[in-house]
Each structure stands twice: as structure tokens, then as C-alpha cells.
A and B are shown apart, each in its own frame.
Chain A
Amino acid sequence: MSGVLESPANLHRRRTMARAFRTACMLLAWLCLVLLVVLLIHATYEGLPWLDLQFLREFPSRFPERAGIKSALYGSLWLISLTAGFSIPVGVAAAIYLEEYARRSRIHSLIEVSIANLAGVPSIVYGILGLTLFVRWLALGRSVVAGALTMSLLILPVIIIASREALRAVPDSIRQAASALGATQWQTIRHHVLPSALSGILTGTILALSRAIGETAPLIMIGALTYVAFVPAGPMDAFTALPIQIFNWVSRPQQEFHQLAAAGIMVLLTVLLLMNAAAVIIRHRSQRNRL
């Protein structure tokens, strides 16, 4: 027995390190979860009594018991739909160009670096850009469409980067197989590359849109209103959005408005969860339909 399977001197220390690292990772993962749960419980505790149909149906008011979130909810839905409509086609098309068509060149790497940098620019800067470009130059005013265009600029880099990752993950053997069957590059992309990359593209896009729906700073910058007693009837109308309304209520002294803000947070989180659920369903469907 002597010598066989005898532990080398440092094995014990290595094992301890391995265990310590595992525990550290686990603790940090739980920490994130606990923080989220605390936030949810707090918001529910404060906001649940206020969360009823009336809260969804009424416009904001200076009387807390009459105040509702209707204009902000509609504003946010308008904003996010238009943002998705602008940013998804442009972002995915840009990603396809960069990943599938563009030849390596100096301009190409310049574009790549710029996109990566744009993803890190603070959102308030996009607000300033939106104010100059869309509100002033294009004279769109403080409209939903100006807000959506600004939000699109903000999330485009994220969509492009996520879509490129998804396209890159499609094995080259699929492209070669399609090309060898006499497919044009577009047929290859349309029938094989995009369907394979779809779930990755969707995940990235939904994450980006989720960021957009929670952004406040650029909207305030382009002049989204904090008190709106109407629902936008078209893309050129003024609007408010959920995070702005929540911010507005939180900044008031009365306790009731703080509770309204909590109820607003619950609405915002519900919209987010619905969006994520939609992404899961679409992804599931697309995988089944590929057969």
C-alpha cells in the first residue's frame, strides 16, 4: 500500500482552494437572487394595496387616491413598440452585413471598435444627441417617435453585438452545405443562418429592449413630460413613460405617492416579465418550426 495512491503534499491545500472558490461563487449567485427578492417583496408590500384596475385606468393626479398610471403605461408601450420597430431591423441587418458580407478591412475594424464603444456611452449622452438630432433638427418635437428613435440609438450597439455573436455561433459547415447546393448567399442566410441564429438574436434583442423600457435619463433629456393627462394617439404626440412617472412620484414628499411608485414598479416589472415570456415562446416556436 505504501506509495500507492498516497496524496501529494499539496493536495489538501488545492482541495481547500477548490472548495473555497465553489462556495464563493455560490454565495455571490445567491446574493444576486436575494437582492432581487428583497426588492420584489418591498415593492409588493408597499404597492400591492394600490395596485388595482383603477390604478391602471386613471391618469396621474395630485390626489393619490385618484392617481393612476394609464398615460405612462400607454406611453411606455408606444415607446417600446416603436423602438423595437426601428432598432430590430436596423440592428439585425447591420449585424448580418458585418458578419456575413463585409470583408476584413480597416474601415470594417473601425466600425467594429465604434460599435463596441457606443455600447458603453452613458445614456444621458444619447439623450443630448436625440434632443439635437430628432427633437430640433428633424423637428419631431417632444414626441413618442423622437423618444423611440433616441432609444433605438441607445440599444442599437447592444442588438448588433448580440446578433453578431449569434450569427458567429452558426457553424460554417451549414453555410458551406447550402452554398454547395447552389444557394445564393441570401438564400443561405435566409433559410439556414438566420433560423439557426434566431434564438440568440431574440435573447439579445429582448435584453436590449428591457433596458430601453427602464431608461429614464435620455427621455427626460429630450423633454418627455412628467405630467400627462392623455394617451398618445399617434407617434407625433407628447408622452410620458413608466420610469418617469415612478421617478416623479418618488420625488414627492407624501408617503402615499411613494406607495404609488412601488405599484408603478410592479407594473413595470410585469411588462418586463411579459416581454421575456414572449421571447421564450417565440424561441420555442421557432425551434419547433424549423423541422
Chain B
Amino acid sequence: MIAEDALKIATQHSAAATNTDPPLLQAHDVSIYYGETAAIKDVSVVATERSITAIIGPSGCGKSTLLRAFNRMNDFIPDARLAGQIRYRGVDIYQPQVDPVEVRRRVGMVFQKPNPFPKSIFKNVSWGPVINGFKGDVPGLVESSLRKAALWDEVKDRLNDSALALSGGQQQRLCIARALALQPDVILMDEPASALDPVSTARIEDLLFELKERYTIVIVTHNMQQAARVSDFTAFLDAGKLVEFGETDQVFTRPKQKRTEDYVSGRFG
């Protein structure tokens, strides 16, 4: 699919964006190589403001690789290389004068397995803003971030306890609070519920709906029901190529590609 199509699909259905504004986050003809092997080939997708975009596809199709390109986490993989552009508010984040640290401050990330720091609940949330020079009301920021992540009521009396004492689902919401504390525009989520039980998963999904009011979310998921439930747009990747990108409703009920139909109806993957 060519980049202009992706942009059209996203802007057509988004009330927030006008055609003159650049989309908040955009992959433009992106290919990602590990050494000589291409993990992603010529993929173009767009994430518009205050929406949830799901990236689905079978294991090894490159969906995590694509997600990690949006905040330059692939920089840590020694021979990973990217061609094409990732644009944040119209700016290519891979051009030399862009500092990846600044990109990651604005584009938050939640990982597959909850990975809180082995520190107190409070410090888990406050650390990011503090090292980035936040000078305001730190306890207030910690509280509002924990509230946004729907965790405040469960932890308000034990902010100084170790984060590792929380349950898996609580730890994942803490990781979301930690990302929110930096006041990012975008939150990338890499299968955030795959290591959690169904009840915790439902809580995370509820939370996604609330977060959508303020943030742009890109979520990688293995779980097609989850993508259908929570997302506004869906990108279906297979073997590193974008097969289909569109409104979630359309992708799941009236897929344009045979391959998509086979996948969403559970015939492979």
C-alpha cells in the first residue's frame, strides 16, 4: 500500500485532524533490516490524534519491530537499519539532528512483560520526569499519573512499597502510569496484556478507552478480539509487509484482501 492511501484512510475518518495538519505519527515507506534480512518492507501507516491503532499479524511478522521504530528503540539492536521515514508531527525522527532521547520522552512505551524498576511505586512514576528536568509538583504528578492509569486507589496508602510487590496487572498499570508521567503525546504498547490474566486484561482494555480521550495509542496485539474491541484503526502485517490498513470495523467485517479475511477469521496465524 502506498503512503498516500494510508494517510487518506486515516484523515477521512478522523474528526480531529484536518488535511493541513501533519498526522501525529506516521510511518512512510518504512523498511527495517536486521543485517541483510528485511523484517519490515515498505510499510506506511498513520496514527491520528486521540485514536487507537492496532497492529496485528502472525508471530514474527515484524509488528513489534515496526512499533519499536516509532520511538527508536531499535537503535539498541546493533545491526538494525531503517529506510524510509518515521514522522512525528511531520518531522522525520531519524534525521541526524534529532536526539533519540527526546523522541522517547515524547513517545512513551509500555512493554509486553511488566517491567517496573525494583524501586518504590512512587519512584517508578517520578523517576522519568525528574531525570528529564521536571521542576513542578512531583507528588501531584505522581498522583495524577496513577489516577489516569486507574491504579491510584489501590496503591495510595503504600506508595513507598516496592513496585515488585504488586500483582502482574497492577505492575502493568504502573508501567502505564510511568509512561504517562512524562506527559507524552503517543503511547506505544507492545502486547501489553499478553502476560496478564483475563480480569487484568479487561482492566487494561477499559483503561485504553479512557486514555484515548487524551492520547494517541499504537498497540501491537496478538489477540484479534482485543484489536477488534479496542482499536479504531487496524494494520495487518504479514511477513513484514502491510497487507491491509483501514478502519477496524472495515478490516474485520469487510476486508479488502483475501489474506486479511483468512487471518481475521482464524484460518491461519
A contact set with B: CB distance below 8 Å? 103-104, 171, 173-184, 187, 191-192, 196, 290-291
Q: Find chain B residues with CB under 8 A from A171 CB.
A: 115
Within 8 Å of chain A (Cβ to Cβ): is B203? Answer: no
A291 and B105 form a contact (CB under 8 A): no
- A182 with B127, Cβ < 8 A, contacts A174-B115, A291-B119 known: no
Write out, one digit per residue, whether chain B residues 177-195 have a CB within 8 A of any chain A CB (1) or not (0): 0110010000000000000
In the assembled complex, how far is the CB of residue A99 from the closest CB belonging to chain B, in whole angstroms? 14
Interface size on B, residues (CB 8 A): 31
Binds A, one of B70-78, B142-150, B234-242, B257-265: B70-78
B71 and A104 form a contact (CB under 8 A): no
Query: Considering the chains assembled together, what is the distance between the CA atoms of A35 and B115 in angstroms?
Result: 46
A173 and B162 form a contact (CB under 8 A): no
Binds A, one of B7-15, B106-114, B212-220: B106-114
Closest A residue to B71 by beta carbon equals A180
Query: Considering the chains assembled together, what is the distance between the CA atoms of A103 and B127 in angstroms?
Result: 28
- A182 with B113, Cβ < 8 A, contacts A176-B73, A177-B175 known: no
Query: Considering the chains assembled together, what is the distance between the CA atoms of A198 and B147 in angstroms?
Result: 33
In the assembled complex, how far is the CB of residue B150 from the closest CB belonging to chain A, in whole angstroms? 20
- 9 A-B pairs with least C-beta separation: A182-B105, A181-B128, A173-B115, A180-B109, A291-B120, A177-B115, A182-B104, A187-B131, A182-B132
Within 8 Å of chain A (Cβ to Cβ): is B95? Answer: no
Report how many A-B pairs have Cβ atoms within 8 Å. 67
Q: Find chain A residues with CB under 8 A from B131 CB.
A: 181-183, 187, 191
Query: Considering the chains assembled together, what is the distance between the CA atoms of A104 and B79 in angstroms?
Result: 11
Closest A residue to B104 by beta carbon equals A182
Q: Find chain B residues with CB under 8 A from A290 CB.
A: 118-119
Query: Considering the chains assembled together, what is the distance between the CA atoms of A178 and B120 in angstroms?
Result: 15
B128's partner among A103, A176, A182 (CB-CB below 8 A) is: A182
Which residues of chain B (185-238) have a CB below 8 Å from chain A? none
A180's partner among B104, B132, B162 (CB-CB below 8 A) is: B104
A173 and B104 form a contact (CB under 8 A): no
In the assembled complex, how far is the CB of residue A218 from the closest CB belonging to chain B, in whole angstroms? 40
A182's partner among B102, B118, B160, B162 (CB-CB below 8 A) is: B102
Q: Find chain B residues with CB under 8 A from A180 CB.
A: 71, 73, 104, 108-109, 111, 179
Q: List 19 A-B contacts (CB under 8 A).
A: A173-B113, A177-B116, A177-B175, A179-B73, A179-B104, A180-B73, A180-B109, A180-B179, A181-B105, A181-B128, A181-B178, A182-B105, A182-B132, A183-B101, A183-B128, A184-B101, A191-B131, A290-B118, A291-B160
